[in-house]
Amino acid sequence: MRGFDFEAIGLRSDDAESLDFFPPHYRIGRTKYIIVTGGVMSGVGKGVFTASLAHLLQFLGFSVSVIKIDGYLNLDAGTLNPYRHGETFVLDDGTECDLDLGTYERFLDTTLNRNNYMTSGKIYSRILAKERRGEYLGRDVQIVPHVTGEIKYLIREKAKEGPYDMVLVEIGGTVGDIENLHFIEAARELMNDEGRDNIMFAHVTVVPWSDTTGEQKSKPTQHSVKKLLEMGIQPDIIVCRSKDPLQRKVREKISLHCNVPIDHVISSPDVESIYTLPFLFQQQRLAEITVHRLHLNMPYPAKEDAQIPFEPYVQHVQRHNPTLTVAVTGKYSSMRDSYISITNALQHTEPFERVRINLRFIDTTEYDDPTVPLHKCLDGVHGIIVPGGYGLRGTEGMIRFIQYAREQQLPYLGLCLGFQLAAIEFARHVCGLEKATSTEFDPHTPEPVISLLPEQETIRDLGGTQRLGGHEVVLLPGTRVHHIYGKDVIRERFRHRYELNNLYKDTLEKAGLLFCGMTPDHRIMQILDYPAHPFFIATQFHPEWTSRPLRPHPLFREFIRAAKRHQEQ
Residues 6+ apart with CB under 8 A from 210: 216, 217
Q: Which amino acid, one-letter code, is at 391?
A: G
> Out of 425, 447, 499, 544, which one is annotated catalytic?
544
End-to-end CA distance of the chain: 85
Rounded Cα gap, residues 27 and 207, in angstroms: 39
Rounded Cα gap, residues 553 and 348, in angstroms: 8
267: left (phi over 0), alpha (psi -120 to 50) or beta: beta
Q: How far is CA 212 from the centre of its chain?
A: 37
> Out of 97, 240, 258, 416, which one is annotated catalytic?
416
Cis amide bond preceding 477, omega within 30: no
Per-residue DSSP letter, 268: E
Q: How far is CA 516 from the centre of its chain?
A: 28
Of 395, 435, 394, which Cα lies nearest the Cα of 419?
Answer: 395
Of 552, 550, 553, which Cα lies nearest the Cα of 59?
Answer: 550
Partnered with residue 490 across adjacent β-strands are: 473
What is the edge-to-edge ordering of all strands in the sheet holding 64-70? 117-119, 64-70, 166-171, 32-39, 199-206, 237-242, 265-269
Per-residue DSSP letter, 548: B
Of 467, 526, 486, which Cα lies nearest the Cα of 502?
Answer: 526
> Out of 471, 496, 542, 566, which one is annotated catalytic?
542
Checking 482-488 for CB contacts under 8 A at 24+ apart, the result is 482/516, 484/554, 484/555, 484/558, 485/554, 486/554
416 a catalytic residue: yes
Rounded Cα gap, residues 365 and 436, in angstroms: 20
542 a catalytic residue: yes
Backbone angles phi, psi at 145, to 5 degrees: -105, -5
Other CB atoms within 10 A of residue 524 CB: 21
Q: What's the Rg (C-alpha) of the chain? A: 26
Active-site residue numbers? 416, 542, 544
